[in-house]
């Protein structure tokens, strides 16, 4: 599956992903002579190094050069947003680099990725994209969370916002309204807000999640067979529950 980003330093590379969830300072974060990471297990040498963005000391550029001198540099660097330190390090060390990819969450450790930095493209082998919707259906600072059955294929036994697949030819907002009606029999109007899309990986499946906020009005949910139970929860209550990835983040965005 090919994603488009932007060229920061030209070149091509293919390799295995090593991913960091947090911004990386090469100074202190990577050993310049061995390529060993100090912020997690692993080594960057020959890998496709994926992280959101650089941070920290400007000396980090020279740590990248040091890696290159020792033959321990990553095969390519992928960022969400390039900043000066890593961009400088990549260019002076001739490491292909792409930024403005949608999210580091596209990737998992061990993915085989082909980077064509000159064209700004990133090809992740063997993954399938599924477009889904997820909605905060709220009233008075609380929203509906539904409990998925233990037999569910995706996030079994977790509490979830009102979510489902986008059907062929359907717009995300229509899909959101349909799912809410099917799963709760609540009819909603225009969304109060939207965010994202967010990306969630589950094995080889990459979910692209379109997120909406709707007002439930005075309607009480009547759930269908897809879920076992529902509750009205605020952010504090949801934090104590086993929820699907990003549920809290999304609730915080819309409910405060």
Partner 1 sequence: MDLTREEEAILNGEQGEGKQKAMELVTALGKIYGADSLIDITSAHLSGASYKTIGDGGLKYLEDLVGGGATVSVPSTLNPVGMDRTRWKEMHISEEFAKKQLRIIDLYGQMGIKKTCSCTPYVGPNVPSMGDHVAWAESSALSFVNSYIGARTNREGGPGALAAAILGKTANYGLHLDEKRKPTVVIDADIDGSVFSYSLLGQAVGMAIGSGIPFFKNISPEVEEAKALCAAMAASGSIALYHVDGVTPEAGNFDVSDLEVIHIGEKELQDAYDKLNKTDDVQLIAIGCPHLTEKEMHQIASFLKGKEKRNKDIEVWFCTSTEIREKCAEDVKIMEKFGPVLADTCMVVAPIEGTFQRTATNSAKAGNYLPTLCSQKAMCRDISALMELVM
Minimum distance from residue 80 beta carbon to partner 1 (Å): 13
From 13, 24, 37, 64, residue interacting with partner 1 (rule: CB under 8 A): 64
Interface of this chain with partner 1, residues 1 to 60, rule: CB under 8 A = 6, 8-10, 32, 58-59
- Piece in contact with partner 1 (CB under 8 A), picked from 38-46, 62-70, 152-160, 192-200: 62-70
Minimum distance from residue 51 beta carbon to partner 1 (Å): 16
Minimum distance from residue 92 beta carbon to partner 1 (Å): 6
- Piece in contact with partner 1 (CB under 8 A), picked from 90-98, 161-169, 185-193, 228-236: 90-98
- Piece in contact with partner 1 (CB under 8 A), picked from 35-43, 76-84, 184-192, 244-252: 76-84
- Piece in contact with partner 1 (CB under 8 A), picked from 79-87, 158-166, 213-221, 228-236: 79-87
Minimum distance from residue 10 beta carbon to partner 1 (Å): 7
Give how many residues touch partner 1 by CB under 8 A: 25
3-state secondary structure the chain: CEEECEEEECCEEEEEEEECCCCECHHHHECCCCCEECCCCCECCCCEEEECCECCCCCHHHHHHHHHHCCCCCCEEEECCCCHHHHHHHHHCCCCEEECCCCHHHCCCCCEEEEECCCCEEEECCCEEEEEEEEEEEECCEEEEEECCCCCCCCCCCEECEEEECCCCCCHHHHHHHHHHHHHCCCCCCCCEEEEEEEEEECCEEEEEEEEEEECCCCCCCCCCCCCEEEEECHHHHHCCCECCCHHHHHHHHHC
- The reply to whether 160 belongs to the active site is no
**What residues contact residue 132 under an 8 Å CB cut-off, 6+ apart?**
163, 164, 165, 166, 207, 208, 209, 210
Minimum distance from residue 23 beta carbon to partner 1 (Å): 15
From 13, 44, 63, 251, residue interacting with partner 1 (rule: CB under 8 A): 63
Site residues, partner 1 (CB under 8 A): 6, 8-10, 32, 58-59, 61-67, 69, 82-85, 87-88, 90-92, 99
């Amino acid at each position: 599956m090919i994603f488009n980003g932007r060229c920061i330093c030209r070149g091509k590379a293919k390799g295995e992903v090593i991913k960091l969830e947090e911004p990386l300072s090469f100074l202190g974060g990577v050993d310049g002579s061995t390529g060993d990471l100090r912020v997690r297990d692993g080594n960057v040498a020959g890998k496709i190094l994926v992280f959101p963005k650089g941070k920290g000391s400007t000396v980090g550029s020279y740590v990248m050069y040091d890696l290159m001198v020792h033959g321990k540099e990553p095969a390519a660097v992928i960022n969400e947003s390039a900043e000066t330190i890593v961009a400088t390090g990549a260019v002076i060390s001739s490491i292909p680099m792409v930024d403005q990819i949608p999210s580091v969450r596209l990737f998992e450790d061990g993915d085989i990725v082909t980077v064509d930095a000159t064209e700004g493209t990133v090809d992740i082998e063997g993954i399938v994209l599924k477009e889904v919707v997820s909605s905060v259906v709220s009233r008075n600072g609380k929203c509906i969370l539904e409990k998925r059955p233990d037999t569910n294929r995706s996030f079994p036994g977790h509490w979830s916002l009102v979510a489902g697949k986008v059907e062929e030819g359907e717009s995300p907002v229509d899909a959101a309204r349909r799912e809410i009606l099917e799963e709760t029999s609540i009819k909603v109007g225009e969304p109060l807000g939207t965010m994202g899309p967010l990306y969630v990986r589950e094995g080889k499946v990459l979910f692209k999640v379109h997120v909406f906020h709707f007002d439930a009005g005075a309607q009480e949910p009547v759930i269908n067979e897809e879920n076992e139970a529902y509750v009205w929860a605020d952010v504090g209550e949801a934090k104590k529950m086993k929820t699907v990835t990003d549920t809290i983040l999304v609730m915080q965005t819309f409910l405060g």
